Amino acid sequence: MQHLLNLVALLGRLVLAGCRQVGGVTLFALEGLSHLVRPPFYPRLLGRAFLEIAYFSLPVVALTAVFTGMVLALQSYSGFSRFGAESAIANVVVLSITRELGPVLAGLMVAGRIGAAFAAEIGTMRVTDQIDALTTLSTNPMKYLVAPRLAAGIVAMPLLVVVADILGVMGGWLIGTTKLGFTSASYLTSTLNFMQAGDVVSGLVKAAVFGFVIALMGCWSGYTSRGGAQGVGAATTGAVVAASILILALDYVLTAMFFGL
């Protein structure tokens, strides 16, 4: 009986800790967002965060998209040839890339790069008193550190996903035309005829949400880190893991919402 009670108590503590965490992140996000519309603004910091996400993540996102498009074309050919549907490869590639793989894979790549970088930078500032120093210098740390990163995440991710969409489709085109016997014109015509604006827009909305989540988890993990180098390390890992899981979970929710399933 006592073991059962201990188990229930443990579960209760875990649920309470989870609720505290969710509540803390939610309040943090709301405060961060509220600073996006209240002056003073820090355009230099916004620019720096935007550059960090959009420009410096471009190579890794581009490579991921190209190879994904290439693999997708090969796999689709291999599978679809069993029932004579090879002609649908261009359609499958564009649909998969724009709706799902573009935003999700770009999100996961950026979560690894940017979520970790934000958590490490802000976490180091926390454990070296730099965040307290901001407060003593009449500067709100949420406004200075968090709001520009959230804004940059929301704006930069859709731009990255536009690039990922184009390069993903081009990866499929490359394999389609060099290995699978498509002509360039037929592959691209098939792609453009099948693609709908809604496919691209839903992917871009997902990208904006993922960008917000990546920046949020990076900032939150860093801001709440404790205990020196070990704490910053844990915050960095936590930011990447939390952002990645949230991206996958939100991807399901948004897909169900957009396509009414």
Contact positions vs other proteins (CB under 8 A): 40, 121, 125, 128-130, 132-133, 135-139, 144
CB 130 to other proteins: min, Å: 5
Q: Which residues of 111-121 are buried (b: 16+ CB within 10 A; e: fewer)?
A: bbbbbbbbbbb
Q: Which is nearer to other proteins, 113 or 206 (CB)?
A: 113
- Helices 184-194 and 89-96, interaxial angle, to 10°? 50
Angle between helix 58-80 and 89-96 (nearest 10):
140
Q: Which is nearer to other proteins, 63 or 133 (CB)?
A: 133
Q: Considering the complex, what minimum distance in angstroms separates the CB of residue 125 from other proteins?
A: 8
Q: What is the CA radius of gyration of the chain?
A: 22
Where do the H-state alpha helices sit in 81-181? Answer: 89-96, 102-110, 116-127, 130-136, 141, 147-178
CB 73, CB 89: distance < 8 Å:
yes
Tokens of 236: 């960095």
Residue with Cβ nearer other proteins (91 or 140): 140
**Residue with Cβ nearer other proteins (56 or 252):** 56
Q: Give the three-state DSSP class for 57.
A: coil
- CB of residue 250 to other proteins, shortest distance in Å: 31
State the nearest-atom distance from the C-beta of 40 to other proteins, in Å.
8
Helix, strand and coil in the chain, % to nearest 5:
85, 0, 15
The least CB distance from residue 139 to other proteins, in Å, is: 5
Q: Minimal distance in Å, beta carbon 134 to other proteins?
A: 8
Question: 75 or 132: whose CB is closer to other proteins?
Answer: 132
Nearer residue to other proteins within complex by CB, 49 or 151: 49
